[in-house]
Amino acid sequence: MKRILSTVLLIIFIATPLCAETLGSSPLGSVQQLLGEIRQIKPDPSAEKQKHSQSALSLFNLEEISKKALGKYWSKLNETEQEKFQILLGKLFVHVAFPSSSKFFTKLDLVYEKTIKNKTVVVVPLTVAHEKEGEVGIDFHLTQNKNKWQVVDVILDGVSMRNNLRSQFYKVIKKKNFDGLIRKMNKKLIASQ
């Protein structure tokens, strides 16, 4: 009995680091981990929800997304404003985007297609069959950052999340400047909680 138990413990000990490494160390593994965390986000404010949300957020390169989403306005911000924007964008992912994505992905079968490697970005294509939306193609664009693959854009049926954010942000900045954008983002965050 001791021998069987020690064999099982040895297998768990050896397999656990391998599984954890596989999830985060490849583009496909990162997307699978991201969607696994998002699927577990429930509409309650529990610590468990926060754990899954923060884990999902760690799989996004917020700095890169922020730079691209603000485009020409990014370089006009000082370091404090850039950091403030990134933190606020992260909170909006956690409190608005992830819960909404959880509802979308919860009951779907995910069909991963062959990963495509470009010069600086790796694309993990995914197809889902949604009850109301039909078949939906989703491409996750990732780059490697400190030995971890992180999402820098998500293309949903040909529409870029990053470009969509940029379009919305530009409209607000043109009308109300950067401070107006921050106020609008804070208002949306407060309304979601």
**Global confidence as pTM:** 0.82
98-119 confidence digits (pLDDT tens): 988 888 888 788 999 999 998 8
Q: How far apart are CA 151 and CA 58, in angstroms?
A: 9
Question: What is residue 184's predicted lDDT score, i.e. its pLDDT?
Answer: 95
Residue pointed to by tokens 């606020």: 88
As a whole number of Å, the end-to-end CA separation of the chain is 52
Largest CA distance in the chain: 73
Greater confidence (113 vs 193) lies with 113
Averaged pLDDT of the chain: 84
Closest C-alpha among 123, 110, 119 to residue 151: 123
18-56 confidence digits (pLDDT tens): 333 344 579 999 999 999 999 988 776 666 667 888 999
Domains of the chain from N-terminus onward: 26-192 (3.10.450.710)
Q: How far apart are CA 148 and CA 93, in angstroms?
A: 19
Angle in degrees, 0-180, between the axes of helices 27-39 and 98-105, rounded to the nearest 10: 90
Residue 192 CB burial class (10 angstroms; 0-12, 13-18, ≥19): middle
Question: What is residue 6's predicted lDDT score, i.e. its pLDDT?
Answer: 28
Question: What is residue 104's predicted lDDT score, i.e. its pLDDT?
Answer: 82
